[in-house]
């Protein structure tokens, strides 16, 4: 019974995901899709298809990162967005543009974002290992505080920028899927899959770490080393993802819990691909909705994920009790 | 004497725990030894240092002085690598953190990470031992349930199944019976006694009656002092329990 319902759910999701590239301000004629140089062809293959691929990658990455953070920080609420790591990346990218004139899609801006993310992670881990950070709740609250401060600084910088550059900058605040070439989108998607496999290979270390540092040691997993390696690896993941899409909230928080609720994975290793796929589908659907709801106006996908993710989170909380 | 023929698995000399000379836990050094295969009850009032002692046995607490020699190794346990620790020790803390969505069989199976490594998979032989363990701890029906959906007592059984399954020589249990009802308590001690001779178990506990009945040896702590270390029968014959817990005296 349960499995049949799950099959139905997956099938529904899959067909919706496949349908979303057809949503949008411009109505496409299906017969023109394979006609080179027709308007429909160009809109579909040059605009919507690469965006669809990129959205899949971003959504999958966000969900996998969320699931990893939840194990790493031993708290169901931890996620790059909640802990302020996403904000740190965004601030780094925007500051890089502001001070060093690095275009926001360059390696230089990615580096700026990564440096700020690593600094925040260092700060968080220092706090977690100090005597004030004795419980994981305190670490979350501390990260939340960092998030608020970083967001305000970001807002400050952006409001300066509004006067000089104008427009566009707000997308960093809410998250937005940019247009990229198809090759780049494919590279990002494959990178996301590789990242997930990488985490999956070492997932038992993460599961051992979840049992506390002392127990992890008796399982042969050196807690400090393992945690630092995972933090470094995931920081790179967060930096790459957020420097593409800005801060998109709630995907990393809700999707892993939703996966556990629906699919009941037997281990973290099995949760990871499920989270990737559900996160990818979720973000693609949100992106489709943000385009289709009031065409030709498009609102940032981050607004959509929060609008849908917030209530979903409440449902998950409700069901957990 | 027969007692001395037993192998010593853990030899502790002049152990002084604490962060600095000003902030030290016990002023006089503790020295004692533990015989291989024994079930040792670690008893003492709250705050007497049971957890700190357990953690220093596996090289976790900071020491001001003292050596802990385990399993005929030439260097003290403080200098061991994580790998060496994992070969000898398994540990159950007083509050075991866990992921509520993790399944029972997956959790118990984590015991084998200690010998297979992080990248390893459970072998067929190990899978069979895992089955036996689930049966032994009466967890067959719960195997596909998540840890979050179990009652506290059931979850404690799962934790115990994991720590006892791990192929270690010494098992350190920190007040594992805190949340158990009387039935579960009896089953717990029975299960522990099954491992006698096979594994050396040091269990910190407040269940004095069970400790008296089931354990081979007693380590008694009071206010930073090692009150007693030796056979359980000696401890109770000499009435030392009344020094520890005066309200128990009748």
- Could you tell me the domains of chain A? 43-166+176-320 (1.10.3470.10)
Whose CA is closest to B93, among B35, B163, B153? B163
Chosen from B55, B58, B113 to mutate, greatest number of chain A CBs within 10 A: B113
Nearest CB to B82; choose among A207, A220, A320: A220
Using an 8 Å CB-CB cutoff, list chain B residues near A202.
Answer: 118-119
Cβ(A280)–Cβ(A57) below 8 Å:
yes
Interface of A with B in 74-103 (CB under 8 A): 74, 76
Give the separation between CA A238 and CA A301, rounded to whole angstroms.
Answer: 18
- Report the Cα–Cα distance between both ends of chain B, in Å, rounded: 35
Calpha distance A275→A256 (Å, rounded):
6
Per-residue pLDDT reduced to its tens digit, B152-194: 888 998 999 999 999 999 999 999 988 788 888 888 888 888 8
Chain A residues with CB-CB distance to B105 below 8 A: 266
- CB spacing of A217 vs B92 below 8 angstroms: no
Q: Report the sign of the C-alpha dihedral through residues A265, A268, A269, A275, in that order.
A: positive
> Which range has the worst mean pLDDT, A91-100, B46-55, B158-167?
A91-100
DSSP class of residue B103 equals B
The DSSP call for residue B216 is S
Preceding omega of A296 cis (within 30 degrees of 0): yes
Cβ-Cβ contacts under 8 Å, A218 against chain B: 58, 85-86, 89-91, 114, 166, 168
Inter-chain CB proximity A267 and B102 less than 8 Å: yes
For chain A, give the mean pLDDT.
85
Residue A134: what pLDDT?
66
Tokens of A17: 């995901």
Interface test with A, best of B86, B142, B173 (most A CBs within 10 A): B86
CA distance A63 to A255: 6
Q: Among A65-69, A85-89, A291-295, B246-250, which range has the highest average pLDDT?
A: A65-69
Q: Quick one: which of A120, A82, A125 has its CA closest to A253?
A: A82
pLDDT bracket for residue A166 (50, 70, 90)? very low
Axis-axis angle for helices A203-210, A223-245 (nearest 10): 110
Task: Please tell me the pTM assigned to this model.
Answer: 0.88
Query: How far apart, in whole angstroms, are the C-alpha atoms of residue A84 and residue A94?
Result: 15
Terminal-to-terminal C-alpha distance of chain A: 23
Residues in A touching B85 (Cβ below 8 Å): 217-218, 220
Is the Cβ pair A220, B86 closer than 8 Å? yes
Concatenate the DSSP letters of all residues of A113-124 into one string: HHHHHHHHHHHH
Residue of B nearest to A71 (CA): B99
Long-range contact set of residues A79-82: C-beta below 8 Å, sequence gap at least 24: A79/A252, A79/A253, A80/A234, A80/A238, A80/A242, A80/A252, A81/A147, A81/A247, A81/A248, A81/A249, A81/A250, A81/A252, A81/A253, A82/A140, A82/A143, A82/A144, A82/A147, A82/A253
pLDDT per residue as tens digits for the range A279-290 = 999 999 999 888
Q: Tokens standing for A133?
A: 């950070």
CA–CA separation, B235 and B217 (whole Å): 8
Q: Are A290 and A299 in contact (CB under 8 A)?
A: yes
Mean pLDDT across the stretch A163-185? 72
Q: Which of B:101-160 have CB within 8 Å of A?
A: 101-103, 105-106, 110-111, 113-115, 117-120, 144, 146, 148
B99 shares contact with chain A (CB less than 8 Å): yes
A155 DSSP assignment: H
- What is the bridge-based pairing of β-strands B217-222 and B225-231? antiparallel
Report in angstroms the alpha-carbon separations of B121 from A265, B75, B114, B115, B178: 18, 31, 11, 10, 33
Give yes or no for residue B197 having a pLDDT over 90.
no
Instruction: Quick: pLDDT tens for A110-157.
Output: 888 888 988 998 888 888 777 776 677 788 888 899 999 998 988 888
pLDDT tens per residue across span A294-307? 777 778 888 889 89
How far is A203 from chain B, CA to nearest CA, in Å? 8
The C-alpha angle with vertex A201 and arms to B79 and A109, in degrees rounded to 5, equals 95
Per the structure, the complete domain to which residue B53 belongs is given by 2-248
> Which has the minimum average pLDDT: B60-69, B128-137, B217-226?
B60-69
The reported pLDDT for the residue numbered B4 is 45
The count of structural domains within chain B is 1
Asked if pLDDT for residue B86 goes beyond 60, the answer is yes
Q: Could you give the angle at the alpha carbon of A13 between the alpha carbons of A255 and A187, nearest 5°?
A: 70
Listed ranges A60-64, A148-152, A170-174, B6-10; the one with the highest mean pLDDT: A60-64
Domain CATH for B23: 3.40.50.300
């Amino acid at each position: 019974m349960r499995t049949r319902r799950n099959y139905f759910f997956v099938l529904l999701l899959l067909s919706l995901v496949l349908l979303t590239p057809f949503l949008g301000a411009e109505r496409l004629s299906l017969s023109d899709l394979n006609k080179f140089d027709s308007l429909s062809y160009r809109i579909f293959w040059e605009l919507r298809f690469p965006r669809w691929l990129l959205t899949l990658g971003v959504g999958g990455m966000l969900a996998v990162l969320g699931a990893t953070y939840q194990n790493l920080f031993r708290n169901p609420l931890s996620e790059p967005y909640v802990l302020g790591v996403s904000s740190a990346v965004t601030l780094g990218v925007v500051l890089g543009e502001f001070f060093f004139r690095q275009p926001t899609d360059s390696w230089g801006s990615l580096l700026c974002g990564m440096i700020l993310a690593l600094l925040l992670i260092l700060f968080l881990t220092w706090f977690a290992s100090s005597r004030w950070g004795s419980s994981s709740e305190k670490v979350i609250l501390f990260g939340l505080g960092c998030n608020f401060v970083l967001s305000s600084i970001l807002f400050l910088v952006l409001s300066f920028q509004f006067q000089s550059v104008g427009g566009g900058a707000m997308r960093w605040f809410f998250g937005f899927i940019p247009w990229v070439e198809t090759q780049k989108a494919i590279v990002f998607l494959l990178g996301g899959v590789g990242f997930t496999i990488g985490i999956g290979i070492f997932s038992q270390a993460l599961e051992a770490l979840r049992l506390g540092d002392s127990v992890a040691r008796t399982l042969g997993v050196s807690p400090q080393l393992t945690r630092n390696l995972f933090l470094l690896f995931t920081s790179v993941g967060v930096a790459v993802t957020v420097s593409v899409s800005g801060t998109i909230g709630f995907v990393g928080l809700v999707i892993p819990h939703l996966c556990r609720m629906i699919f009941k994975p037997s281990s973290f290793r099995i949760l990871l691909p499920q989270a990737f796929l559900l996160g990818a589908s979720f973000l693609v659907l949100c992106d489709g909705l943000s385009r289709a709801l009031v065409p030709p106006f498009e609102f940032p996908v981050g607004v959509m994920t929060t609008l849908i993710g917030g209530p979903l989170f409440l449902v998950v909380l409700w069901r957990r009790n | 004497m027969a007692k001395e023929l037993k192998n010593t698995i853990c030899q502790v000399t002049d152990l002084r725990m604490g962060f600095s000379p000003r902030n030290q836990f016990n002023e006089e050094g503790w020295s004692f030894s533990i015989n291989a295969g024994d079930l040792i009850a670690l008893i003492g009032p709250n705050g007497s240092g049971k957890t700190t002692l357990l953690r220093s046995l596996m090289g976790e607490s900071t020491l001001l002085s003292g050596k802990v020699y385990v399993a005929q190794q030439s260097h003290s346990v403080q200098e061991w690598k994580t790998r060496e620790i994992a070969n000898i020790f398994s540990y159950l803390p007083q509050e075991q953190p866990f992921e509520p969505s993790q399944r029972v069989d997956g959790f118990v199976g984590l015991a084998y990470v200690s010998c297979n490594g992080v990248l390893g998979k459970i072998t067929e032989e190990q899978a069979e031992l895992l089955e036996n363990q689930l049966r032994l701890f009466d967890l067959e029906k719960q195997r596909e349930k998540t840890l979050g959906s179990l009652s506290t007592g059931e979850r404690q059984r799962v934790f115990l199944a994991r720590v006892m399954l791990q192929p270690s020589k010494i098992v350190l249990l920190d007040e594992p019976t805190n949340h158990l009802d009387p039935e579960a308590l009896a089953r717990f001690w029975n299960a522990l006694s099954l491992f006698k001779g096979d594994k050396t178990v040091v269990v910190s506990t407040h269940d004095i009656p069970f400790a008296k009945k089931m354990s081979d040896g007693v380590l008694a702590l009071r206010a930073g002092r090692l009150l007693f270390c030796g056979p359980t029968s000696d401890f109770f014959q000499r009435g030392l329990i009344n020094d520890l817990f005066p309200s128990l005296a009748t």
